[in-house]
Amino acid sequence: MLKELKITDIKVGNRHRKEMGSLTSLADSIRQEGLLQPIGVTEKLELVFGERRLRATRDILKKKTILARIVDVSSIIAGEYAENEIRKDCGSVEIRGWGRRDEGRRFREHPGAQEASSRMDDARRADDLAGGLLYNMRRLHGR
């Protein structure tokens, strides 16, 4: 069930994640695209996942409410783990694909474009390095 909640009613307990990364980029993205993924809270309004979204919305966008999904989890830590560790981040090929599919039109204008562009460059360098290593290993082993 989705509900618009007062941010002050949400209880943020002791969290595993300590490094929040760039909340400004996230806030800019939420401002431009909207909150694409609601935060998750228990029926008692204990935060399960979405602390970065909550902080960006509250501290930078200065909003008083946020969209939340009421979830039933075995524990807060189990829900936090499932949301942050079990899900799969996009790989380098997928990240590069965004720029190609969009041909740079809106992607370059997006608030997170500079950070994503840097990740794409890093992914290209990693792919080039891996390809070079594979080529050299094959040469050394006569394949």
Domain positions in the chain are: 2-86, 92-140
Tokens 């941010």 sit on residue: 7
Distance in angstroms (rounded) separating the CA atoms of residues 38 and 67: 5
What are the tens digits of pLDDT across the range 30-64?
A: 999 999 999 999 999 999 888 999 999 999 999 99
- Under DSSP, the state recorded for 82 is I
- The secondary structure element, H or E, covering residue 22 is none
Mean per-residue pLDDT over the chain, rounded: 76
Distance in angstroms (rounded) separating the CA atoms of residues 41 and 5: 10
Tokens 């039109």 sit on residue: 105
Distance in angstroms (rounded) separating the CA atoms of residues 126 and 130: 6
pLDDT at 123 over 70: no
- Count Cβ atoms below 10 Å from residue 137 Cβ, excluding itself: 10
pTM score: 0.61
Assigned CATH class of 2-86: alpha beta
